[in-house]
Amino acid sequence: MKLQKKFKLTLFAGLGLMMGALGFADGGDGSGDDALTAAAHPVFTAEQAEAGEVVYQQSCAACHFGQLQGDDFAAALAGGNFRNYWSSRTLEQFLDYVRTQMPLGQPGTLSDEAYAQVVAYILDFNGYPAGEVELSADPAELSHIVFGLPTE
């Protein structure tokens, strides 16, 4: 039990260092006068999230599991810890992380559209509202959109 707890602490510390090295630990929330939050302004469509679920099941679920819960090896992509961690960060940061790090051992192997669909699915699963406009795969268009926290 203590070994498992030590492993988790080491894993989270390593993840924190990696995120810092990638530039995510600066708090870079993208919040300026023109910042939007995904929680208040829908940034993906329901159809895009449905397509993202298919891609997720094919390319992500083996490590992050069907309910996005993760485990000691793969981070959870749903729940309070996930939402709190990303709430002040931009969708550009998240998409960039997913695109450059996933799938494990094969980063960048999905199409830009597929990565955007997976992000839409993750947002949808976490309670962010769907709307009429698809989530863009263009980082420049996502740089001013902060996750925020969805209303439960």
Query: What average pLDDT does the structure give for the chain?
Result: 83
88-124: b (≥16 Cβ within 10 Å) or e: bbbbbbbbbbbbeebbeeeeeebeeebbbbbbbbbbb
Sequence-distant (≥ 6) Cβ neighbours of residue 46 within 8 angstroms: 124, 130
- Quick check: 38 and 151 in contact, CB under 8 A? no
Closest CA to 148 of 102, 104, 94: 94
**Residue ranges per domain, the chain?**
29-146
**Does CATH number 1.10.760.10 belong to domain 29-146?**
yes
Q: Write out pLDDT tens, residues 37-51.
A: 998 999 999 999 999
Answer yes or no: pTM beyond 0.75. Answer: yes
Q: Write out pLDDT tens, residues 59-109.
A: 999 999 999 999 999 999 999 999 999 999 999 999 999 999 999 999 999
Closest CA to 74 of 65, 83, 82: 65
Average pLDDT over residues 111-134: 97
Instruction: Give the single-character DSSP code of 52.
Output: H
Identify the burial level of 50 via C-beta atoms within 10 angstroms of its C-beta, where 0-12 means exposed, 13-18 middle and 19 or more buried: middle
Q: How confident is the model at residue 2 (pLDDT cuts 50, 70, 90)?
A: very low
